[in-house]
Structure 1
Amino acid sequence: MQISIVIPLLNEADSLQELHQWIVTVMKQNNYSYELIFIDDGSTDDSWKKITTLQAENPNVKGIKFLKNFGKSQGLNAGFKKAQGDVIITMDADLQDSPEEIPELYNMVTQGGHDIVSGWKKKRYDSKIRKNIPSKLFNWAARKTSGIELNDFNCGLKAYQKKVIKSIDVTGEMHRYIPILAKNVGFKNIAEKPVQHQARKYGETKFGIDRFTNGFLDLITLWFLSKFGKRPMHFFGLMGTFMFLFGFISTSYIGIQKLLIVFYYHETAKLVTNNPLFYIALTTMILGTQLFIAGFIGEMILKNRKANNLYYIEKEI
């Protein structure tokens, strides 16, 4: 099979018929063999009913229905596991991504040899306050953190080699940073393609302030995991050692100072508890010990962890 098109969605019943027909037209024009995978992320409208109707009309349509809303990242992760195509295309279900971009994305992966081709919405039709400005901040932070020079990490329209999506797990709000996840496991041939962006035709955007804050928190998590995810002792142990040494050296200084006063100057020394540095040193020694133990526990968890379910599928067709 040439192409798997993975589309996570939430309450997009009005757009599914039109999107399906648009994709089918593009596939037929280019003689592609394909599968179209819709992931219903706990919709409360008729989205799943629409998907089952489309599947009855077109055997290339497949569907996954989550028991409740688990998030776009979990939807993509489930779709990636089900996908069988040589090239996997992801796009949104709101008709803002154009299926007309698929042939060139496919060619850039198959003929250009790219591991990932990410769309770049140069001209956007979203609200500047609600989405444009936050997206620019996300993209700037992601570039600085990852070293990947993409202008639009958040674009849902992307193309992947099959081996890429089978090598990563997308959790939390990590769908924005799939190129970073791929780079962390060794895929570095990442390209970008300007794509057409269209105004939303039905419904309302799902973007909110919580996605803005969660996205930045996930970026910090991703940076930490890429650096220390497999060796937490390298971070916590190093920090703990430095803090413990600082506290130990400080308490040693206080003790030596007191001995000199008593035995060399023959004066009465003040209690060490009157010295603020004593409490700072004691605190850093305790914190240093705790950080070191945290690193050790982290190593033990990594060696004994079992996979956890990130989502629960109610139905699948």
Structure 2
Amino acid sequence: MSKLDISVVVPLYNEEESLPELLAWIDRVMRAHALTYEAILVDDGSSDGSWEVIERLKSSYPAVRGIRFSRNYGKSAALYCGFAAAVGEVVITMDADLQDSPDEIPALRRMILEEGYDLVSGWKKKRYDPIGKRWPSKFFNWTARVATGIRLHDFNCGLKAYRLKVVKSIEVYGEMHRFIPVLARQAGFRRIGEKVVEHHARKYGHSKFGLERMVKGYLDLITVLFMSHFGRSPMYFFGSLGTLMFLVGGFTTIWLIAGKLWKQAHDLPLRPVTDQPLFYLAILAVILGVQLFLAGFLGELINRGSSDRNKYLIDKTLD
């Protein structure tokens, strides 16, 4: 397939009611701006009639491409497969629930092509979600900004725009779709922008995400921060921490034993080393230090044998 102006990647799960309206809206916007496009609908193991709707839409909209999972794998897996299939010069991601507006697509595309951004994230400044969803999201986004240094107000916004080479250079897995800007920066794409986008109240069905996504979000934040700093050199983290614990535990043990021998030599009252809780804490620190060091060493061995260990993104060459 030749390169198109835009690839619209839409991950979906049980959204049969909204799909016809969404595709009509996308097609209307593309035609109004004379843009060639493809709409990649990734059915994440829906249990309703979403796939049958996609098959029907294909007859009305030749630009529709469908990918169906045998079971529900999650949004990150859907985006990963959608990115792999995309061929458009600019890749747009959006949710299938009609809360993201396709009218934003032309402006997002201009920011990528004319303003030089690698990635533009939407910011739902005025949201129509319940307050029980808005405030936890605000707190999560504040934490993510502080931890990552990326000044985005809405990491969770599904409406984003990318250069094609960005989506081909990152691997979205687990629940990492929230942190695609972090993954992109880690891959060397530092021109990350933000645009205030229109947000709509959900028209059909109900949200597929509960409060557990907040817990997953923070665990994923820790993961992505660790991988960005120590993913290629785990020994720097585990080895340093293990060495520190080993030295603290070892010197504490030596100090306790030396203190006992000194008191014994001077006939002073003494307490057996084995009766002191600090001795056991010191021994524990030595053991944990050795284990952490070995964990770093094993991590280095695994990393050395990884097939993509020397996978680097080359921007330009000159012969």
Same fold, TM exceeding 0.5? yes
For 1:190, give the aligned amino acid: I
User: Pick from 136, 150, 158: which aligns with 1:134?
Assistant: 136
Q: CA deviation at 1:267?
A: 4.7
Please give the alpha-carbon distance, in whole angstroms, between the structure 1 residues aligned to 2:199 and 2:275. 67
For 2:195, give the aligned amino acid: K
Please give the alpha-carbon distance, in whole angstroms, between the structure 1 residues aligned to 2:116 and 2:206. 37
Structure 1 equivalent of residue 314 of structure 2 = none
For 2:302, give the aligned amino acid: I
Structure 2 equivalent of residue 105 of structure 1 = 108
Please give the alpha-carbon distance, in whole angstroms, between the structure 1 residues aligned to 2:255 and 2:160. 59
Structure 2 equivalent of residue 302 of structure 1 = 303
Q: CA deviation at 1:210?
A: 1.4
SS in structure 1 opposite 2:31? helix
Structure 2 equivalent of residue 164 of structure 1 = 166
Structure 2 equivalent of residue 252 of structure 1 = 254
State the number of aligned residues.
Answer: 305
For 1:195, give the aligned amino acid: V
- Correspondence 1:148-159 to 2 at 5 A: 148-159=150-161
Please give the alpha-carbon distance, in whole angstroms, between the structure 1 residues aligned to 2:124 and 2:279. 57
SS in structure 1 opposite 2:18? helix
Structure 2 equivalent of residue 4 of structure 1 = 7
Structure 2 equivalent of residue 41 of structure 1 = 44
Structure 2 equivalent of residue 278 of structure 1 = 279
- Correspondence 1:202-221 to 2 at 5 A: 202-221=204-223
Deviation digits for residues 219-277 of structure 1 (CA, Å, limit 9, x no counterpart): 111111111111111111111101000111011111211221223x1457543201222
User: Pick from 158, 166, 190: which aligns with 1:188?
Assistant: 190
Structure 2 equivalent of residue 79 of structure 1 = 82
Deviation digits for residues 99-121 of structure 1 (CA, Å, limit 9, x no counterpart): 00000000000011100111111
Please give the alpha-carbon distance, in whole angstroms, between the structure 2 residues aligned to 1:186 and 1:63. 30
Q: Give the TM-score normalised by structure 2.
A: 0.93
Q: Which runs of no fewer than 5 residues in structure 1 stay unpaired?
A: 308-317
Deviation digits for residues 35-75 of structure 1 (CA, Å, limit 9, x no counterpart): 11000000001100011111122221101001100001110
User: Pick from 56, 65, 69: which aligns with 1:66?
Assistant: 69
Q: CA deviation at 1:22?
A: 0.6
Aligned-residue CA RMSD (Å): 1.2
SS in structure 2 opposite 1:38? strand
- Correspondence 1:200-239 to 2 at 5 A: 200-239=202-241
Structure 1 equivalent of residue 119 of structure 2 = 116
User: Pick from 25, 36, 61: which aligns with 2:28?
Assistant: 25
1:291 paired with 2:292, answer yes
For 1:208, give the aligned amino acid: G
Please give the alpha-carbon distance, in whole angstroms, between the structure 2 residues aligned to 1:287 and 1:49. 55
Q: CA deviation at 1:306?
A: 5.9
Please give the alpha-carbon distance, in whole angstroms, between the structure 1 residues aligned to 2:162 and 2:302. 32
User: Pick from 50, 57, 72: which aligns with 1:54?
Assistant: 57
Deviation digits for residues 280-304 of structure 1 (CA, Å, limit 9, x no counterpart): 1111000111111111111112222
For 2:93, give the aligned amino acid: T
For 1:293, give the aligned amino acid: L
Please give the alpha-carbon distance, in whole angstroms, between the structure 2 residues aligned to 1:280 and 1:155. 47
Runs of 4+ in 1 over 3 A off after TM superposition: 266-270
For 1:14, give the aligned amino acid: E
For 2:299, give the aligned amino acid: G
SS in structure 1 opposite 2:245? helix
Q: Which runs of no fewer than 5 residues in structure 2 stay unpaired?
A: 309-319
Please give the alpha-carbon distance, in whole angstroms, between the structure 1 residues aligned to 2:272 and 2:134. 60
Range with bigger deviation, 71-80 or 275-284: 275-284
Deviation digits for residues 180-230 of structure 1 (CA, Å, limit 9, x no counterpart): 111111111111100000011110011201111111110111111111111
Q: Give the TM-score normalised by structure 1.
A: 0.94
Please give the alpha-carbon distance, in whole angstroms, between the structure 1 residues aligned to 2:251 and 2:160. 54
Deviation digits for residues 117-149 of structure 1 (CA, Å, limit 9, x no counterpart): 1111111111110x2112111210110111011
SS in structure 1 opposite 2:195? strand
